[in-house]
A and B are shown apart, each in its own frame.
Chain A
Amino acid sequence: MDVSEKAMRKHLPTFACLVAAVTAICVLPSAVETFTLVEFTVYAIMAIFSLSLAFAWGYGGILCFGQAAFFGAGAYAYAIGVLNVGESTVAMLLAVAVPMLLATVLGYFMFFGRISDVYLGVVTLTVTLILYNLANSTSGDQYRIGAAVLGGFNGMPSLPTLNVPGSPGRLLDSVQMFQVCVVCLASVYIGLRALLSAHFGRVVVAVRENELRANLLGYDARKYKLGAFVISGGIAGLAGGLFANWGAFTSPTVFGLAQSAQAIIWVIVGGVGTLLGPVIGCIAIQWLTAYLGTIGWVNPNLVLGLILVLFVLTIPKGLAPILFMPFQWLLRQRSQVGNHEGRIP
């Protein structure tokens, strides 16, 4: 296999992602109605959320049952930030930074406290429920952070949405909002792929494969797990911040169990251990949920449950391996002809 072919294989998913993103940005706004475009916007936002868990679980081996904690923290950080600053750029930075800080504190105690995987799931789930109850218990004007009234169960309505950086008066319209979300999704996907092919990402995967061996080679597995957890939290926070933008509203439901459970279903359906799979799984499930909600004669949650059971029992590796099968077959054919080229960078 020559160098150019190897480079092509390595960069093909990134190139395909860029083509898909550019196509979506250029074609969809003029091809679909505004309502559909707004729907696609939330698909892109949730796909970012799905990627956050796909990275932590599929590559870091960290099954976080409370990914919504970071999503919700991002949404609330954006809401509080934008209401106080009056401009969305700083608020979006806060939407990423606050969940990363939360993940750092939480992850430090979990990984350096040597909590086992099962308890890690329990702890993250519990933290989400605590945050849900906390956000629910903030009714009344006395619960405010600066100019931002938290609003308890009713949440925080009428949030200023994204503006052109430095120009608070120039708000983005629905087309621009869609384009920003697609750019964010593509950036997160490409960023994660780059991270996974770098030294840090490879050690994260090695720790998932065999934590003891990673330690015996001199890697502090706890630090790598913490790093992956913090990055995942930041990505979930980005999705949370964009979600608060999308509806110009946030409420305690962003911390809800359903939010965390959905992300797990998207990743299972798409394929644990892949990045593209969870994106596809997320979009497919959301589209299906919306469609079932439209026809009205069947409960979407019941169908989601059935899909989850079906995938766990019959397609445990998810959609991704099935979708990629033809490409992998082609690549195998080529590598049988060529020499045995490894996968080191």
Chain B
Amino acid sequence: MSESLLSATGLGISFGGVQALTGIDFRLAEGELRCLIGPNGAGKSTFFKLLTGQYRPTAGCVTIRGTVTAGLEPYQIARLGVGIKTQVPSVFDGLSVDENIWLAVRRITGAPAARNAVFDVLEETGLEHLSARQVGTLSHGQRQWVELALVVASRPSLVLLDEPAAGMSDDEVKRTAQLITAINRHCALIVVEHDMEFVQMIAQKVTVFNRGSILVEGTVDEVLADPRVRDVYLGRDLEMRV
């Protein structure tokens, strides 16, 4: 078993009287690609917000490469090497595509290297033809790609992707799967996704969230075969399709 990149122990958060997450024990190895699935409201996005410091846990703690993130600001956690693509594209709408990427690159490298690095990321993500376009004028799918490019450009060691294929065409979904596989060559990923075909394309291991806690963890086949997962998330008719 390779070294643990991320570990969450007894992680929980409540909003007033609502317990959104409780007793989450989660481990991710270096270079691993994990998919999180589960019904809406299961706590997947909340889990991401706890990992990135947008929410403070009310129980438990998160450790990234041996650093306990309790009390750290989101920018400090980002500097530990955590990059996130949020569910709704979070980009700099008023700036051009290359300016967006430049901002991500420039924080980790000097000015002369940043320019070349921007072109590399544009090429890697296939956004060269949009480089001068203002991000706010792009389609939803294109903005998703810009956000992916931002995450790639910041050279993280752990990438969190919240529904990266949402709102994309079939062709874009395939390209996204290829990009995720390429990203996984040099860093670990956690991907939240509802599209099970997409999950099957990329996943090595799957964790199922339900009602704020982890229901089951295992390989794609194990999870798909688990009757509890079919009951709470996939539905009984999946047996017909699998």
Contact B95 A205 (CB under 8 A): yes
Q: Which A residues are in CB contact (< 8 Å) with B98?
A: 342-344
Known: A206-B92, A209-B93. A217 touches B132 (CB 8 A): no
B interface, CB within 8 angstroms of A: 52, 54, 73-75, 78-79, 83-84, 90-99, 102-104, 106-108, 111, 114-115, 118, 129-133, 150, 154
A208, A210, A216 interface centre (most CB from chain B within 10 Å): A216
Bound state CA distance, A335 and B90, in angstroms? 28
A89 smallest CB distance to B (angstroms):
35
Q: Which B residues are in CB contact (< 8 Å) with A209?
A: 92-95
Within 8 A of B (CB), among A289-345: 335, 340-345
Known: A217-B154, A219-B75, A220-B73. A342 touches B104 (CB 8 A): no
A203, A213, A219, A342 interface centre (most CB from chain B within 10 Å): A342
Contact B90 A213 (CB under 8 A): yes
Contact B103 A216 (CB under 8 A): no
A140 CB-CB contact with B under 8 Å: no
Q: Which A residues are in CB contact (< 8 Å) with B78?
A: 215-218
Contact B73 A217 (CB under 8 A): no
A221 CB-CB contact with B under 8 Å: yes
B96 smallest CB distance to A (angstroms):
5
Known: A199-B111, A210-B92, A343-B98. A215 touches B73 (CB 8 A): yes
Contact B154 A218 (CB under 8 A): yes
Contact A342 B91 (CB under 8 A): no
Q: Which A residues are in CB contact (< 8 Å) with B99?
A: 202, 342-344
Bound state CA distance, A176 and B150, in angstroms? 51
A262 smallest CB distance to B (angstroms):
27
A interface, CB within 8 angstroms of B: 199, 202-203, 205-206, 208-210, 212-221, 335, 340-345
- Please list 30 pairs of residues, one from A and one from B, whose beta carbons are closer than 8 Å in the complex, sorted by A's number: A202-B102, A203-B103, A206-B95, A208-B94, A209-B94, A210-B92, A212-B74, A213-B92, A213-B150, A215-B73, A215-B75, A215-B78, A216-B52, A216-B75, A217-B104, A217-B107, A218-B78, A218-B108, A218-B154, A340-B130, A340-B131, A342-B98, A342-B99, A343-B95, A343-B96, A343-B98, A343-B132, A344-B114, A344-B115, A345-B111
Known: A213-B91, A215-B74, A218-B75. 17 other contacts (CB 8 A): A199-B111, A206-B95, A209-B94, A209-B95, A210-B91, A210-B92, A213-B90, A215-B75, A216-B75, A217-B104, A217-B107, A340-B129, A340-B131, A342-B96, A343-B98, A343-B132, A344-B118
Contact B103 A342 (CB under 8 A): no
Bound state CA distance, A343 and B92, in angstroms? 14
Bound state CA distance, A217 and B92, in angstroms? 12
Contact B93 A340 (CB under 8 A): no
Bound state CA distance, A216 and B92, in angstroms? 12
B135 smallest CB distance to A (angstroms):
9
| Nearest 4 A/B pairs, CB to CB | A342-B98, A218-B78, A209-B92, A344-B102
Known: A206-B95, A343-B98. A216 touches B84 (CB 8 A): yes
Q: Which A residues are in CB contact (< 8 Å) with B97?
A: 342
Contact A220 B75 (CB under 8 A): yes
Q: Which A residues are in CB contact (< 8 Å) with B73?
A: 215, 220
Bound state CA distance, A190 and B101, in angstroms? 26
Contact B93 A210 (CB under 8 A): yes
Bound state CA distance, A140 and B84, in angstroms? 61
Q: Which B residues are in CB contact (< 8 Å) with A205?
A: 92, 94-95
- By beta carbon, the residue of chain B nearest A335 is B132
Bound state CA distance, A209 and B100, in angstroms? 11
Bound state CA distance, A341 and B131, in angstroms? 7
Bound state CA distance, A203 and B107, in angstroms? 10
Q: Which B residues are in CB contact (< 8 Å) with A217?
A: 75, 78, 103-104, 107, 150, 154
Contact B90 A210 (CB under 8 A): yes
Q: Which A residues are in CB contact (< 8 Å) with B107?
A: 217-219
B149 smallest CB distance to A (angstroms):
12
Q: Which A residues are in CB contact (< 8 Å) with B74?
A: 212, 215-216
A114 smallest CB distance to B (angstroms):
11
Q: Which B residues are in CB contact (< 8 Å) with A212?
A: 54, 74, 90
Q: Which B residues are in CB contact (< 8 Å) with A218?
A: 75, 78-79, 107-108, 154
Q: Which B residues are in CB contact (< 8 Å) with A219?
A: 75, 103, 107
Q: Which B residues are in CB contact (< 8 Å) with A221?
A: 75
- By beta carbon, the residue of chain B nearest A198 is B111
Bound state CA distance, A209 and B133, in angstroms? 16
Bound state CA distance, A212 and B147, in angstroms? 13
B78, B93, B154 interface centre (most CB from chain A within 10 Å): B78
Bound state CA distance, A343 and B52, in angstroms? 30
Q: Which A residues are in CB contact (< 8 Å) with B79?
A: 218
Pick from A202, A220, A335, A345: contact of B115, CB under 8 Å: A345
Q: Which B residues are in CB contact (< 8 Å) with A344?
A: 98-99, 102, 114-115, 118
Q: Which B residues are in CB contact (< 8 Å) with A342?
A: 96-99, 118, 131-132
Bound state CA distance, A341 and B122, in angstroms? 13
Bound state CA distance, A135 and B107, in angstroms? 44
Bound state CA distance, A168 and B50, in angstroms? 62
Bound state CA distance, A214 and B104, in angstroms? 9
A204 smallest CB distance to B (angstroms):
11
Bound state CA distance, A206 and B107, in angstroms? 13
B78, B79, B92, B111 interface centre (most CB from chain A within 10 Å): B92
